[in-house]
């Protein structure tokens, strides 16, 4: 479980960006642990997969 402020999450976005995404539904699925927010590795990987695009080379 990764919590907001964890250095690994900085690769995904800053804490303010993650907070914005939580309100708009754009970011990875999260879990509320009391007043803390956490992200599972699985939800992060699934979110990254959904955002992955394939590059096509013209030629």
pLDDT at 59: 63
SS3 (DSSP) at 2: strand
Residue 41: inside a domain: yes
pTM: 0.80
Residue 9: inside a domain: yes
Cα–Cα distance, 23 to 37 (Å, whole number): 13
Residue 19 lies in domain: 2-51
pLDDT-derived band of residue 53, with 50, 70 and 90 as boundaries? confident
* pLDDT single digits (tens) 2-43: 999 899 899 999 999 999 999 999 999 999 989 999 999 999
Residue 56: inside a domain: no
Residue 58: inside a domain: no
DSSP 8-state symbol, 31:
E
Q: How many domains does the chain have?
A: 1
Residue 30: inside a domain: yes
């Amino acid at each position: 479980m990764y919590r907001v402020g964890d250095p690994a999450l900085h690769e995904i976005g800053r804490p303010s960006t993650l907070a914005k995404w939580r309100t708009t539904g754009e970011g990875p699925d999260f879990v509320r642990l009391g007043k803390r927010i956490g992200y599972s590795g699985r939800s992060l990987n699934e979110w990254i997969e959904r955002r992955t695009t394939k590059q096509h080379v013209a030629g």
